[in-house]
Amino acid sequence: MHSHLPVFRRQLLKSLFGFGAWLYASRLSWSAAQSPIAEPDFSKPLIQAPDSPRLWPLFRRQLAEWRDRTRRTSHYNDVRYRDEAMSWTRSSFSSCFVMLCDPTFFDYEAGRYRVEQFLKQAQHDFGGFDNLILWHAYPRIGADNRNQFDFYRDMPGGLNGLREVVRQCHGREVRALLVYKPWDVGTRREAVSDVDALADLVQATEADGVYLDTMPLAPDGLRQALDRIRPGLVLEGEGELPLAYIHDHHMSWAQHFEDSLVPGILRNKWFERRHMLHQTTRWNSDHIPQLHTAWMNGSGMVVWENVFGSWVGWSARDRTVLRTIVSIQRHFASLFSGEGWTPLVQTEAPDVYATVWEGSGVRLWTLVNRADRSISEAVLKVPTADGMQYFDVVAGREIFPRIDGEMTILDGTLARRGIAGIVAGTPASLGADFSSFLDVQQALGVGAEEAAEVPPRPVRLRDSGQSPVYPTHTPPAGMVLIPAATVTLRVQLRTRECGFYGNEMNRDELYANFHKPQVFERPVALAGYAIDLTPVTNAQYAEFLLSARYRPRHPENFLTHWADGKPPLGKEDHPVVYVGLEDAQAYAEWAGKALPTEEQWQYAAQGSSALKYPWGDVMKSGRCNGGETGTTTSVIAFPDGRSPFGCYDMCGNTWEWTESERTDGRTRFCMIRGGCYYTAQGSPWYMDGGPQATDFAAKFLLMWPGLDRCATIGFRCIARMANL
């Protein structure tokens, strides 16, 4: 009968709990054998379990046999997992997807990273992070021809600044991964291969490996390139990792792995216990299903609240559950990466499921409550073992069990859809630091039900102040009057993961309308104003620099296309580019003007008839810069493309800044208008490019001036007029 149990399992039960425990487990295995079930589907990344507890022993046997058979027939080699330099991944349970432009991570006013403050806050909110994914380019990439590697180089302080970020992470025992985007094929090409360019970045920044965006596994040669840099560099893919590549990909994402009522088994974790998976469903506000999967499988979680500029925060309840889980996982990391894993052991309470982890004289049960009600009752009945003590490691207290003959009954308390953890061991097996660990768990304060709703983050429009009012009816030179109007403006944005004006994005809306236009309408009352007939030119900006002696606080990429402080020869009347929002605002203030609001810009472009393009409702050649020359053109090159008010260049040539800066405290952005001459080809993930309709807006994430200054964004000004 007992042959149905794996050898290591029989030996462990005998040594830890004696003959009685071994006989009890053998009987369960024999009982299950009388009720055969279909072979589990091992092709799925999360293996579904049978509903009936009577079938779980056979299910466990099928799992064990599949694992043994597959490792044997595939000639699986675990040499990389035995490498001590790679061992950090076994306890890298909590991963944070961090936008490098997030104001909680980067102080854009001071121009420096806030790594220490960020990680300290993460300790309070989530129990700390074990690794950070340092996200950079998307959804900004494609605004000009800078590629994904350029985005890292143009981060504050360049690669040296990123290296300091990594070193500060290491100072707090946190690892940091760079990102590779295989779909970036339409921007500037490197002189070397992507693999070599990526390896150079890893070496320069001292990063700990590479996160593979949209990819389940690394491109050819990347593993070898990382090995040449130093030991311990890892690969983690976004997609489902094939079994054949577990041997050299130490971590992977478990993204949208939908579990059933009876908790399933993460296939790759079952196959290689030292492999770390991170659960994630980035558009979900309820993380309990993924937390349950992680808890039952000894795997990790991704914390991702700033989703490419859209706020998808974690509730107080979910944060507390994660803090509790990762604290226990880190303390018992050797159990969760060891061979003593028995999934789906019998429980005594309905809707409660348990897994047991064993090793070195310690047993740890991880339990989840699938019910929408709290439970406080007997949850486990286990064979009695002399000298064992039992502890609730969620609450951080000892459990005093009830003895019923040869069985020990353990009571537990689980919140609705909550978790529990029970440890059995002796003082010697639990270790001298176990008492202090319990104190930590008590301090986490788990018990009372916490809010499951995600707190909103209102998006605020930046107050730009009031520009001077011109006391005359005559517009300043080079401007045209726009009379007051009350209109309903129609605005469209392409549905992208960075969202729209606020936090309107949700998962269903996104995936049903991906890359499709989203239309907003709102009534607007516009006071009369004057607007520049053309974008500000290189020559005009040069005059401003000479007169105002303006020097930006952060000079990186400022007018980078100029030479010796002068505009490119022959492009004096082209729109000035490589100016950030602050640079444009500084010019406007010097000129006694302001940047136009979105509404002012759009009305000047489309007129009272709401034309689709400044010249009419049909795109026509010869009316705008469509990218034929691959660069900017004179601001008056297309007189037939003027708007109803006579404005030049309101379609194509360059995007234009508007006075529309917004923030929710985690993302800063500005709406830019008009389109530009440049379009990145090859992927829908790039930012919008090319000439655009008068009602089209692009949400442009503001990072810092060195990145915000682009080859494709310029500006024009408006003036407030009296009595209009």
Q: Which residues pair with 301 in a beta bridge?
A: 94, 279
pLDDT at 450: 80
**375-417 per-position pLDDT tens digit:** 999 999 999 999 999 999 999 999 999 999 899 999 999 999 9
**561-595 per-position pLDDT tens digit:** 999 999 999 999 999 999 999 999 999 999 999 99
HSE-up of residue 526 (Cα within 13 Å, Cβ side): 26
Which two three-digit tokens encode residue 177?
A: 């991964």
Percent of the chain with pLDDT over 70: 94
Q: Which residue in the block uniquely carries the two structure tokens 């009388």?
A: 34
* Cβ neighbours for 552, distance < 8 A, ≥ 6 positions apart: 558, 580, 582, 583, 586, 705
How far apart CA 618 and CA 691 sit, in angstroms, is 12
* Cβ neighbours for 25, distance < 8 A, ≥ 6 positions apart: 2, 5, 9, 13
How far apart CA 206 and CA 553 sit, in angstroms, is 28
C-alpha distance across the termini of the chain, in Å: 95
Residue 29 has pLDDT above 60, yes or no: no
Residue 173 has pLDDT above 70, yes or no: yes
Residue 38 has pLDDT above 90, yes or no: no
Q: What is the DSSP string of 113-165?
A: E-HHHHHHHHHHHHS--SEEEEE-STTTTTSSS--HHHHHHTSTTHHHHHHHH
Closest CA to 37 of 25, 23, 51: 51
Q: What angle do helix axes 581-590 and 538-548 make, rounded to 10 degrees?
A: 70
**225-264 per-position pLDDT tens digit:** 999 999 999 999 999 999 999 999 999 999 999 999 999 9
pLDDT at 60: 97
How far, in whole angstroms, is CA 177 from its chain's centroid?
12
Residue 446 has pLDDT above 60, yes or no: no
How far apart CA 287 and CA 276 sit, in angstroms, is 18
**581-630 per-position pLDDT tens digit:** 999 999 999 999 999 999 999 999 999 999 999 999 999 999 999 999 99
φ, ψ of residue 276 in degrees (nearest 5): -105, 120
The amino acid that residue 705 corresponds to is: P
> Coil, strand, or helix at residue 662?
strand
The amino acid that residue 280 corresponds to is: T
Question: In which band, very low, low, confident or very high, does the pLDDT at 424 lie, cut at 50, 70 and 90?
Answer: very high
Which two three-digit tokens encode residue 118?
A: 């960020």
Residue 365 has pLDDT above 60, yes or no: yes
How far apart CA 57 and CA 444 sit, in angstroms, is 35
Mean pLDDT of 431-445: 92
Which two three-digit tokens encode residue 582?
A: 């602050």
Helix or strand (DSSP H, E) at 57 = helix 56-73
In the chain the domains, ranked by start, together with CATH numbers, are 460-721 (3.90.1580.10)
Mean pLDDT of 40-44: 96
Question: In which band, very low, low, confident or very high, does the pLDDT at 32 lie, cut at 50, 70 and 90?
Answer: very low
The amino acid that residue 496 corresponds to is: R
Of residues 147 and 386, which shows the higher confidence score? 147
C-beta of residue 46 within 8 angstroms of C-beta of residue 20 = no
How far apart CA 698 and CA 309 sit, in angstroms, is 13
Residue 214 has pLDDT above 60, yes or no: yes
Residue 648 has pLDDT above 50, yes or no: yes
pLDDT at 248: 97
Percent of the chain with pLDDT over 90: 88
239 class by beta-carbon count within 10 Å (0-12 exposed, 13-18 middle, 19+ buried) = middle
**76-120 per-position pLDDT tens digit:** 999 999 999 999 999 999 999 999 999 999 999 889 999 999 999
Mean pLDDT of 159-180: 98
φ, ψ of residue 527 in degrees (nearest 5): -75, 155
Q: Which residues pair with 242 in a beta bridge?
A: none
pLDDT at 16: 36
| Strand 469-470 to 718-721 pairing | parallel
pLDDT at 3: 33
Which pTM value belongs to this model? 0.93
Residue 332 has pLDDT above 50, yes or no: yes
333 class by beta-carbon count within 10 Å (0-12 exposed, 13-18 middle, 19+ buried) = middle
